[in-house]
Structure 1
Amino acid sequence: MRIYFIFFFFALLSFQAEAQVVSTAKHQIVFQLTAGDSITHMRFIRQLENILEAAPNARIEVITHGMGVDLLQTESNLFDSKLLALQEAGINFIVCENTLKQRKLKKESFFDWSGFVQSGIVELVIKQEQGWIYIKAGE
């Protein structure tokens, strides 16, 4: 009886691991994040984790502007370890410099692995022109 349980357990584990991967294609996905609230950020992070499980070869870039840049500020960040894990998994997080100017924020207040572009909107346009799939995150 115990042998059957062990066999069943390992069969179940291998099935679950296989069931999680939906696509092995090299998708290119660019997200636009403008929401600044922590509940939206928490849900968005979970979506990113889900995508990495379902499509482990996907290239993902997150363009933040407006209040969305708050996701990447270091001070009192509730998600720093999860964001670092996502960044280490290959997700690029980008901050709009126009937003920094408008909100009088300094680059030094963001994670050192954050990328910066002059215009978040123009970066989204460029990515779409290059064939990236666009998804509006949050709200």
Structure 2
Amino acid sequence: MKNLVLILTLMMSGLVLGQTEPIKLVFDVTSDDPDVHRMAAKHLQLMAEAYPQSEFEMVIYSGAYKMVDKKASVAGEMLSAVVNKDNVDVVICEQTMKRHKMTIGDLIPGVGSVPDGIYEIVMKQKDGWGYIKEAK
């Protein structure tokens, strides 16, 4: 039994260590659920740290706007730590900002904006980026 566990452990570690090809991944966050915000920020942080040669972008729009609001974000501390990594971009849809009367000054420092969140995601996918929908 111990040998089986050892063999499986070695096989799994080889699989993890073998994943070295850089990827490009866009995270789509629309939920207003604080648990989704925490989970999405954690996923982004873990991926960015595990794959430093890869590129990641998180696109925030619709009900998720509070995720990047520096006064209201439950994931603000984690996003602040990850947003300044060279391989990470976190952006919010300017249409969403307009709807909620937000300005760049309301955002967690380092968070950017894009004219349209859905268009941003579609263009990333067109350019070969993988897609992750963050939801419960």
Report how far residue 126 of structure 1 moved: 0.8
Question: Which consecutive residues of structure 2, in runs of 5 or more, have no partner in the other structure?
Answer: 1-12
Q: Percent identity?
A: 25
TM-score of the two chains, using structure 1 as the length reference: 0.77
Name 1:59's counterpart in structure 2.
55
Q: Is the 2:26–2:124 contact (alpha carbons within 8 Å) kept by the matching residues of 1?
A: yes
Contact kept in structure 2, 1:33 and 1:136, CA below 8 Å:
yes
The residue number in structure 1 matching 2:41 is 45
Cα gap change, 1:19/1:68 in structure 2, threshold over 3 Å: closer, same or farther?
Answer: same
How far did residue 80 of structure 1 move?
A: 2.4
In structure 2, the partner of 1:68 is 64
Cα distance, 1:50–1:111 mapped onto 2, change above 3 Å: closer
**Partner of residue 125, structure 1:** 122
Instruction: Tell me the amino acid that sits aligned with residue 87 of structure 1.
Output: V
Partner of 2:6: none
Instruction: Count the aligned residue pairs.
Output: 123
Task: Give the TM-score taking structure 2 as reference length.
Answer: 0.78
Task: Quote the offset at 1:53 in angstroms.
Answer: 4.3
Q: Is 1:101 equivalent to 2:119 in the alignment?
A: no
Counterpart of 1:91, as a letter, is V
Distance 1:46-1:60 versus aligned 2 partners, 3 A rule: same
Q: Which runs of 5+ in 1 are unaligned?
A: 1-16
The one-letter amino acid of 1:26's match is P
CA distance in 2, matches of 1:51, 1:118: 26
State the match for 1:5 in structure 2: none
| Cα pair distance change 1:18/1:42, threshold 3 Å | farther
**1:31·1:62 contact (CA, 8 Å) conserved in 2?**
yes
Quote the offset at 1:77 in angstroms: 2.9
> Where does residue 79 of structure 2 map in the other structure?
83
